[in-house]
Amino acid sequence: MKKLTLILIFFIVHSCLFAQSFVANYDESKVPPYTLPDPLIFKDGKPVKSKKDWRKRRKEIFSLFEKEVFGYSPQWIGSTKSEILSRKDGALNGIAKRKEVRLELVNGNKTISLNILIYLPKNSKDVPLFLGCNFNGNHAVSTETDVLIPDSWVGNDKNLHITDHRANPEGRGKEASRWPLKEIISRGFGVATVYYGDIDPDFDDGFNNGVHQLFDVKRDSTSWGSVAAWAWGLSRVMDYLETDREINTGKVIVMGHSRLGKAALWAGAADERFAMVVSNNSGCGGAALSKRIFGETVGSINNAFPHWYCMNFRKYNQKEELLPVDQHELLSLIAPRPVYVASAAEDAWADPKGEFLSCVFASPVYELLGEGKFSASDMPPLNTPVLGTISYHVRPGKHDVTLYDWNCYMDFASGYFKLKR
Ligand code: GCU
């Protein structure tokens, strides 16, 4: 009996300590001193001096992110089929062309399908296009009542243990405020979006569904997690876009909010076909520096979402100082292509300052590649974007994607792709 009580006490103390250890720090004065890895120093200590050196150093950094953070994503050796499911010429009250495309990814006897929803301005060609995953289904992005509800949900919910109401047609338009389609189309951009659950359902399922199950790879501590899978899915959408004559694939901007911002950053790093990357409030494991240990930490993200990153990432739970990379280097992998990082002032969990500092510390790589310096060293005031090949803003308010955020992305991208504002 005594023994049992002791064991019980041990477990209670242990679990209290464990819970305690993931309490978030929101006090700037408690940010520990930290040293960031220098993206312009090779592993062997030699400096990176030229663009040619950078291509080699980039490989070192990329491999570290694969091995220690996101996991290795497999090469796509299967086949991809596409089918146009619907077309509508006068969408969004006549200003847009809309189409829905089913992509079928086939590897041996395994198949998975994703639905892509595409809106393009009706009367212009070769427009820049924002590509991103959505959280609630393509029908949730648009208020148009004939946008298809993905099959992957209907009837599957119980099997997938997804307990929310997303399969329900009532979800229509639910995410529309995050995708201001009319404004985007009116400003001369296109949009392509895919439901992230079509690529990989977002729960810890032992990787038995989504795109993971297309491959028979024996999993180990470096195998890809869900964030890498969402990024990989965006590359498969890009494969499709390359076959679509209505799309200019030299102008595809991969973007995402929050966990999908993490995925957009990794997609942009892994796939250099993306011309620009937008990270909206991506936070920990996205644009925010891990070594600041502010808001969400490596330990808390791995604890709450064990399926997002590779198992190796857990080695750094509460040991961020040992991480061989930090997130400014994730931004540097996008160079010399533009990256736009955005924060929300009330989104302390995502560490706005840590997101800003990533831009500051990625700047030397952009400078080496001739892209000019990120022009701020202190956080800019609210609603005052710092624009350049690395761009940054912080707006008032909560964790979300707002019209203000979109207008900033479009202002920058209009100049970059030489559109009229
Ligand atoms: C949680 C998670 C974040 C993530 C966010 C989201 O808050 O801790 O890392 O960015 O969900 O995706 O909405």
User: Distance from the CA of 231 to the center of ligand 1, in angstroms?
Assistant: 16
Name 190's bridge partners: 129
- The whole-number average pLDDT for the span 266-284 is 98
Residue 56 CA to ligand 1 center (angstroms) comes to 33
130 versus 154: the higher-pLDDT residue is 130
What does the H/E/C string look like for the chain?
A: CHHHHHHHHHHHHHHHHHHHHCCCECCHHHCCCCCCCCCCECCCCCECCCHHHHHHHHHHHHHHHHHHHHCECCCCCCEEEEEEEEEEEEHHHHCEEEEEEEEEEEECCEEEEEEEEEEEECCCCCCCEEEEEECCCHHHHCCCCCCCCCCCCCCCHHHHCCCCCCCCHHHCCCCHHHCCHHHHHHCCCEEEEEEHHHHCCCCCCCCCCHHHHHCCCCCCCCECCHHHHHHHHHHHHHHHHCCCCCCCHHHEEEEEECHHHHHHHHHHHHCCCCCEEEEECCCECCCECHHHCCECCHHHHHHHCCCCCCHHHHHHCCCHHHCCCCHHHHHHCCCCCCEEEEEECCCHHHCHHHHHHHHHHHHHHHHHCCCCCCCCCCCCCCCCCECCCEEEEEECCCCCCCHHHHHHHHHHHHHHCCCCC
Which two tokens mark 295? Answer: 């808001």
Among 202, 341, 349, name the best residue to mutate to test ligand 1's pocket (greatest count of ligand atoms within 8 A of Cβ).
Answer: 349
| Weakest mean pLDDT among 130-139, 316-325, 389-398 | 130-139
- Which residue, by CA, sits nearest to atom 8 of ligand 1? 301
Does the Cβ of 278 fall within 6 Å of ligand 1?
Answer: no
284 CB near ligand 1 (under 6 Å): yes
> Is residue 310 within 8 Å of residue 220, measured between CB atoms?
no
Q: Model pTM?
A: 0.93
Distances (CA, A) of 255 to 134, 171, 250, 265, 268: 10, 22, 15, 8, 9
What pLDDT score was predicted for residue 269?
99
Query: Tens digits of per-residue pLDDT, 322-366?
Result: 999 999 999 999 999 999 999 999 999 999 999 999 999 999 999
Which member of 113, 186, 235, 399 is catalytic? 399
257 lines ligand 1 (CB under 6 A): no
Ligand 1 neighbour 231 (Cβ under 6 A): no
Take atom 12 of ligand 1 and give the residue whose Cα is closest.
259
Average pLDDT over residues 151-169: 46
Q: Check 223, 258, 282, 332 and give the catalytic one.
A: 258
399 is catalytic: yes
Confidence of residue 56 (pLDDT cuts 50, 70, 90): very high
Q: What is the pLDDT of residue 13?
A: 45
In three-state form (DSSP H/G/I as H, E/B as E, the rest C), the secondary structure along 3-28 is HHHHHHHHHHHHHHHHHHHCCCECCH
Angle at 266 between CA 264 and CA 270, to 5 degrees: 120
- What separation in Å is there between the alpha carbon of 408 and the centre of ligand 1? 22
Residue to substitute in 133, 226, 258 for testing ligand 1 pocket (most ligand atoms within 8 angstroms of CB)? 258
Ligand 1 contact via 301 beta carbon (within 6 Å): yes
Contact 149, 169 (CB under 8 A): yes
- In angstroms, the CA 377 to CA 75 distance is 39
Report the share of the chain in percent with pLDDT over 70. Answer: 90
79 is catalytic: no
- For tokens 């393509």, the residue is 138
Ligand 1 pocket check for 227: Cβ under 6 Å:
no
Query: Could you tell which of 134, 259, 297, 302 is best to mutate to test the pocket of ligand 1, judged by most ligand atoms within 8 Å of the CB?
Result: 259
CB 379 within 8 A of CB 394: yes
Q: 18 pLDDT exceeds 70?
A: no
Q: How far apart are CA 43 and CA 388, in angstroms?
A: 29
pLDDT category of residue 187 using cuts at 50, 70 and 90: very high
CB distance 325 to 68 below 8 Å? yes
Q: Give the atom of ligand 1 at the shortest distance from the alpha carbon of 399.
A: 13
For residues 361-388, give the mean pLDDT: 97
Question: In the prediction, which pLDDT does 172 show?
Answer: 87
Ligand 1 atom at shortest distance from the alpha carbon of 284: 9
CB-based contact 304:368 (threshold 8 Å): no
Q: Residue 296 CA: which ligand 1 atom is closest? A: 8
Cβ(298)–Cβ(351) below 8 Å: no
Compute the distance between CA of residue 378 and CA of residue 390 in angstroms, rounded to an integer. 15
Q: 117-121, 205-209, 383-387: which has the minimum mean pLDDT?
A: 205-209
First to last CA, the chain: 76
> Per this entry, what is the length of the chain?
421
Ligand 1 contact, 259 CB (< 6 A): yes
Q: Which atom of ligand 1 is nearest to the CA of 304?
A: 8
Name the residue type at position 258.
S
Question: What mean pLDDT do residues 149-169 have?
Answer: 49
Which range of 21-30, 82-91, 158-167 scores highest in mean pLDDT? It is 82-91
Q: How confident is the model at residue 16 (pLDDT cuts 50, 70, 90)?
A: very low
Distance CA 84, CA 103 (A): 9
296 lines ligand 1 (CB under 6 A): yes
Q: What is the dihedral of CA 301, 302, 308, 312, to 10 degrees?
A: 140
Could you give all domains of the chain from N- to C-terminal order, each with its CATH number? Answer: 2-416 (3.40.50.1820)
| Cα separation, 174 vs 166, whole angstroms | 9
Asked if residue 295 has its Cβ within 6 Å of ligand 1, the reply is no
Instruction: Please determine, for residue 168, whether its predicted confidence score (pLDDT) is greater than 80.
Output: no
Decide whether any atom of ligand 1 lies within 6 Å of the 288 Cβ.
no
What pLDDT is attached to residue 150? 75
Give distance in angstroms: CA of 111 to centre of ligand 1: 29
Residue 404 above 80 pLDDT? Answer: yes
Binding site membership of 290 for ligand 1 (Cβ less than 6 Å): no
Per-residue model confidence (pLDDT) at position 154: 36
